[in-house]
Amino acid sequence: MTSEDLPRRKKIRLEGYDYSANGLYFVTICVTEKYQVLWENVGANSVRPLTSNEILHPKLSVTGKLVKRKLTEIAEHFPDVFVEMSCIMPDHVHIIIKIEKQPKNGRTLFAPTSETPTLSRVIKHFKEAVTKELGYSIWQKSFYDTIIKNRKQHAEIRQ
């Protein structure tokens, strides 16, 4: 069997798009094997159904709290990147990320530089920060993203 016979992983990034461009991005990062490690009282470990209050206001597990903290630290590492909104689910995380490069010397940077954060760099840093503190990785390979193109789409995603 040659490498040509093996299944090929689909590219999930938009070909030719500059992922360091100013804009809003909706990102989903999944936990490997769909392990429900980000909330307490879910999955096979739950001995009773969740109450309506627990469904509306889930209690984050220790790992979920770490994920939440690391999301807030993204802007400290990448000054031009902001987490506008996040939603931590039992086995994945939804994030709206805003990249807003500030003008340097009166001019906005348009071409990517080594300083310019790309969406992939931001997510890689976030996943590595969680992994480093935990001592092991909980993340599935890669992530899913949608480039938010207009206010209507932004409003729909925020709901």
* Alpha helix positions (H), 36-117: 52-56, 62-72, 74-77
Residues 129, 140, 143, 2, CA torsion sign: positive
Q: Does 11 reside within a domain?
A: no
Q: Does 6 reside within a domain?
A: no
Distance CA 2, CA 65 (A): 44
Tell me, rounded to whole angstroms, the distance of Cα 30 from its chain centroid.
Answer: 9
Task: From 109, 106, 37, select the one nearest 79 (Cα to Cα).
Answer: 109
pLDDT tens, residue by residue, 127-156? 999 999 999 999 999 999 999 999 999 999
The model carries a pTM of 0.80
Range of the domain at 114: 23-154
Q: Does 57 reside within a domain?
A: yes
Query: pLDDT grade, residue 119 (50/70/90)?
Result: very high
Split into its structural domains, the chain has a count of 1
Q: Which two tokens stand for residue 98?
A: 């805003």
Distance CA 95, CA 26 (A): 6
The alpha-carbon radius of gyration of the chain (Å, integer) is 18
User: What's the pLDDT at 103?
Assistant: 72
**CATH number reported for the structural domain that contains residue 60 in this entry:** 3.30.70.1290
Q: Does 3 reside within a domain?
A: no
Q: Does 13 reside within a domain?
A: no
Q: Does 130 reside within a domain?
A: yes
Q: Does 72 reside within a domain?
A: yes
Q: Does 14 reside within a domain?
A: no
